[in-house]
């Protein structure tokens, strides 16, 4: 009986430790600053989904985004990655 209980506990821990890993690509245009300069953001991320459906910064296994802004005829790209990003939250289950 002890072996059966131990095996059941081990299975339960293994199943709870596994989380769904998802990956998303995104592009969003339509950004305009006060000076009328336009921009867009594009990138991708992968991570494990929390039990409530959210993905938080610690859940990410990969993140990359480029914010591209056009100012006075010049293009500027601001690069974000796991190393230089400080906040992240998404709820994929509610994204349309």
Write down the residue that tokens 């594009």 correspond to.
Answer: 42
CB of 62 closer than 8 Å to CB of 46: yes
Of 33 and 89, the structure prediction assigns the larger pLDDT to 33
- pTM comes to 0.65
Residue 55 lies in a domain: yes
Look at the chain and report how many structural domains it folds into.
1
d(CA 12, CA 46): 25
CB-CB neighbours of 9 under 10 Å: 10
Residue 12 lies in a domain: no
| Domain membership of residue 90 as a residue range | 20-94
Residue 5 lies in a domain: no
pLDDT above 90 as % of the chain: 42
Residue 13 lies in a domain: no
Burial 52-88 (b: 16+ CB within 10 A, else e): eeebeeebbeebebebbbeeeeeeeeeebeeeeeeeb
Residue 65 lies in a domain: yes
How high is the pLDDT of residue 84? Answer: 78
Residue 83 lies in a domain: yes
């Amino acid at each position: 009986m002890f072996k059966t209980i131990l095996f059941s506990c081990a299975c339960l821990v293994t199943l709870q430790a596994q989380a769904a890993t998802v990956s998303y690509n995104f592009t969003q245009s339509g950004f305009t600053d006060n000076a009328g300069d336009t921009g867009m953001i594009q990138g991708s991320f992968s991570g494990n989904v929390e039990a409530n459906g959210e993905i938080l910064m610690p859940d990410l296994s990969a993140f990359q985004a480029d914010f591209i802004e056009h100012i006075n005829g010049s293009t500027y790209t601001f690069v974000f990655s796991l190393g230089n990003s400080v906040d992240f939250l998404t709820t994929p289950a509610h994204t349309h």
